[in-house]
């Protein structure tokens, strides 16, 4: 059945969980698809987006056999229940095999390979890793050469296998290719435990500091995969572009396992994913060539596609799926006008395996909505007690509060239970940290990130309001609004934009003038709009606002310095949790006085003599 409304979800639930979710683990989903259609293509990997003859193709029979072979090999390396295989790779067929093979014999521990070696070493220990798989030396992206020696220097003695290498990999304990080939035959391994057993640790919490490790059960991952397949109406004929890394829940489950569970084909655009410019610049030809039906992309990538001229038959394409950040209405409308294809939004987080709400593809798009809750889950908008979300203060339709959820997609918590406070509450509730509302049709709307809200005096400003208005300008490609510290107001709104190429590019002042009269709340008018060449992004393409906040903080400090009689060349600023400001001898006290009242954690110190 096609799910269009909350009533459809409730009808599905009336039939019982077993009927709606016949496979409860990722491995059951993969082997079920392999049994149903062994010769269908599970994964098509583009080694060269310009040369389809070089594509790597894995059928479902290939995928299932390779996952089991990897599991046998991992077991021989000492991976048992309670231990993990750490997967530090680009999204490739071998990465998929390592991820699911690890779950057969133990659990997986996908890690962003761009983290610092010390950070990775700490994650390996926290994830109880027994073996490591790392993308080997290649011409496109080589972190092996620096990372492996650095991990050894950090005291990591575990076996390290190379995957997808194009050249010799110094320090390798063997290749994943050889391990799979050597173990393709043998007795099948039966996974220990049931659907509630540990499937994976996924790290979260950003790219600095000690990130939290989220405990995923097999059911968490399978529930999200099946739910997304239902709400996205996925089937064996679908070809889904998935350029997300597998250490990100969207790549692994929302777009990945969902497609595999439905018997569709994952099209992976090379090691670089959606940063593969050859692929993105030829996206419409790729649609025609491969019969692509669905493209998954964060809003920034979706915005970039608008500048690519449609020069091919894209009739196979049904819709775009996006998430990771709010979907501006202007972007959705412009994409739909250009292509004639629907755009649908997703809201998720690592703590619930990637999906809180999904816009059904069978229903019309509702501007600014993230869609409906997952089947068999519960979605609530909570009020606060002493600044914390309170499950006993559930708000009604269209009341704004903190988004919370519970259900089969919700993790049991972090590997360090001491970090659960404020996020995992009693009663099974997960607090998302987003502000939002649910209308009387069950549709979820995110109105802001609680920590992203700009507070000017006692007035809350939603940065998305500013961003949406800026994106209505024909020359603006991406936009991000943040709060700039201010001693009087607490914060003032400022914004950053990147522009499309073309004549008559506006400057910041012109964009401020453009926004006048366009914002529902006049106090949301940015005090400054900065045009920048590139927007800082996370590895999966989300706008990384901490970098922008640091820049805005720098502006505020420079303004305070001018009040103290100092010029830009007189001080240096080192951003961080505590901003370090160096000033000339004798000028520290006037600078401290000028900064008084500004909501910035700072230290002013005397500049060392040069």
166 φ, ψ (degrees, to nearest 5): -105, 0
Joined tokens for residue 309: 């001229």
Give the distance from CA 266 to its chain's centroid.
18
What pLDDT score was predicted for residue 245? 93
Sign of CA dihedral 577, 582, 588, 593: negative
| Cα dihedral sign, 349-352-356-362 | positive
How far apart, in whole angstroms, are the C-alpha atoms of residue 83 and residue 192? 12
**CA pair distance 18, 8, nearest whole angstrom:** 17
Q: Which CATH class is domain 547-606?
A: alpha beta
Element (H, E) at 590: helix 588-595
Taking the alpha carbons at both ends of the chain, their separation in whole angstroms is: 73
Q: What is the structure's pLDDT at 603?
A: 78
As given in the structure block, the two tokens for residue 15 are 């039939």
- CATH number of the domain at 453-542, out of 3.10.20.30, 3.30.2270.10, 3.30.300.30, 2.170.190.11? 3.30.300.30
Query: What DSSP assignment string belongs to 13-26?
Result: HHT-HHHH-S--SH
pLDDT of residue 399: 95
Which residue in this structure is represented by tokens 């009533």?
Answer: 7
Taking a C-beta distance cutoff of 8 angstroms, is the pair 395, 383 a contact? yes
The whole-number pLDDT of residue 209 equals 44
CA dist., res. 474 & res. 381, Å (int): 35
The structural domains of the chain, with segments of one domain joined by +, span 6-444, 453-542, 547-606
**Angstrom distance (rounded) from CA 121 to CA 133:** 14
Spatial distance between the Cα atoms of 473 and 509, rounded to a whole number of angstroms:
13
pLDDT value for 207 = 37
- Angle at which helix 144-153 crosses helix 117-126, to 10 degrees, equals 60
The string of pLDDT tens digits covering residues 527-546 is 999 999 999 998 778 898 88
Q: Which residue(s) pair with 76 in the sheet?
A: none
Nearest CA to 314 out of 335, 339, 331 is that of 339
| Residue 575: predicted pLDDT | 73
- pTM for the model stands at 0.80
Q: Which residue shows structure tokens 């964009």?
A: 511
Which residue positions in the chain have pLDDT lower than 70? 1, 205-211, 324-326, 448-451, 457-460, 488, 520, 576-578, 596-601, 608-610
Superfamily of domain 6-444: ANL, N-terminal domain (3.40.50.12780)
- Residue 493 near residue 484, CB atoms below 8 Å: yes
Secondary structure (DSSP) of 544-570: -HHHHHHHHHHHHHHHHHHHTT--GGG
Distance between CA 136 and CA 592 in Å, rounded?
A: 51
Extract the tokens encoding 380.
């609530």
Look-up of token digits 């914390």: 388
**383 near 393, Cβ under 8 Å?**
yes
* Angle of helix 60-76 versus helix 26-36 axis, rounded to 10: 140
What contacts 9, CB < 8 A, 6 or more positions away? 3, 372, 373, 375, 442
* H helical segments located in 413-544: 463-471, 508-515
Residue 541 contacts residue 301 (beta carbons within 8 Å): yes
CA distances from 74 to 3, 223, 382 (A): 40, 26, 44
- Rounded-to-integer distance, Cα 342 and Cα 320, Å: 6
Quick: pLDDT tens for 369-383.
999 999 999 999 999
Exposure string (b/e) for 501-528, b if CB count within 10 Å is 16 or more? eeeeebebeebbebbeeebeeeebbbeb
């Amino acid at each position: 059945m096609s799910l269009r409304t909350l009533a459809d979800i409730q009808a599905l639930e009336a039939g019982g969980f077993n009927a709606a979710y016949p496979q409860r683990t990722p491995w059951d989903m993969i082997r079920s698809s392999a049994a149903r259609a062994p010769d269908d293509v599970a994964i098509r990997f583009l080694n060269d987006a310009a040369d389809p003859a070089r594509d790597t193709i894995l059928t479902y029979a290939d995928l299932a056999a390779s996952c089991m072979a990897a599991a046998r090999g991992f077991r021989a390396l000492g991976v048992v229940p309670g231990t993990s295989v750490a997967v530090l790779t680009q999204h490739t067929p071998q990465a998929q095999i390592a991820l699911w093979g690890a779950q057969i014999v133990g659990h997986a521990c996908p890690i962003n390979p761009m983290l610092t070696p010390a950070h990775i070493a700490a994650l390996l220990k926290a994830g109880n890793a027994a073996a490591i798989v790392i993308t080997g030396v290649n011409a496109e992206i080589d972190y092996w050469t620096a990372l492996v020696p650095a991990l050894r220097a950090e005291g990591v003695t575990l076996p390290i296998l190379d995957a997808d290498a194009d050249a010799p990999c110094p320090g390798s304990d063997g290749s994943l290719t050889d391990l799979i080939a050597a173990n393709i035959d043998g007795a099948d391994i039966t996974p220990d435990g049931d659907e509630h057993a540990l499937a994976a640790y996924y790290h979260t919490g950003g790219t600095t500091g000690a990130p939290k490790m989220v405990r995923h059960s097999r059911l968490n991952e399978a529930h999200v995969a099946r739910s997304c397949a239902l709400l996205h109406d996925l089937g064996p004929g679908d070809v889904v572009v998935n350029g997300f890394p597998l250490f990100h829940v969207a790549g692994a489950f929302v777009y990945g396992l969902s497609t595999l569970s439905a018997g569709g084909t994952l099209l992976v655009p090379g090691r670089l994913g959606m940063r593969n410019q050859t692929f993105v610049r030829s996206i419409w030809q790729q649609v025609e060539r491969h019969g692509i039906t669905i493209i998954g992309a964060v809003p920034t990538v979706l915005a970039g596609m608008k500048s690519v001229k449609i020069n091919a038959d894209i009739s196979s394409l049904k819709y775009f799926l996006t998430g990771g950040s709010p979907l501006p209405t202007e972007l959705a409308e412009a994409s739909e006008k250009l292509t004639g294809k629907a755009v649908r939004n997703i809201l998720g987080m690592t703590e619930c395996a990637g999906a809180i709400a999904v816009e059904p593809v069978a229903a019309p798009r509702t501007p600014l909505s993230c869609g409906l809750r997952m089947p068999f889950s519960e979605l609530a908008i909570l009020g606060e007690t002493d600044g914390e979300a309170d499950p006993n203060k559930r708000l009604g339709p269209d009341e704004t509060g903190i988004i919370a959820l519970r259900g089969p997609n919700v993790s049991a918590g972090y590997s360090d239970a001491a970090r659960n406070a404020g996020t995992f509450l009693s009663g099974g509730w997960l607090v998302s940290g987003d502000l939002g509302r649910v209308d009387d049709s069950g549709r979820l709307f995110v109105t802001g990130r609680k920590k992203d809200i700009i507070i000017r005096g006692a007035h809350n400003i939603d940065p998305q309001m500013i961003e949406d208005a800026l994106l209505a300008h024909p020359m603006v490609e991406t936009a991000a609004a943040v709060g700039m510290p201010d001693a009087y107001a607490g914060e003032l709104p400022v914004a950053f934009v990147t522009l499309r190429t073309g004549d008559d590019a506006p400057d910041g002042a012109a964009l401020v003038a453009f926004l006048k009269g366009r914002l529902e709340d006049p106090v949301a008018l940015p005090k400054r709009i900065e045009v920048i060449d590139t927007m800082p992004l996370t590895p999966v393409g989300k706008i990384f606002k901490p970098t922008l906040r640091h820049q805005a903080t720098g502006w505020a400090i420079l303004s305070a310095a001018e009040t103290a009689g100092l010029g830009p060349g007189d001080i240096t600023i080192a951003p961080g949790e505590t901003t370090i400001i160096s000033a000339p001898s004798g000028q520290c006290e006037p600078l401290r006085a000028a900064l008084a009242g500004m909501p910035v954690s700072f230290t002013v110190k005397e500049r060392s003599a040069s």
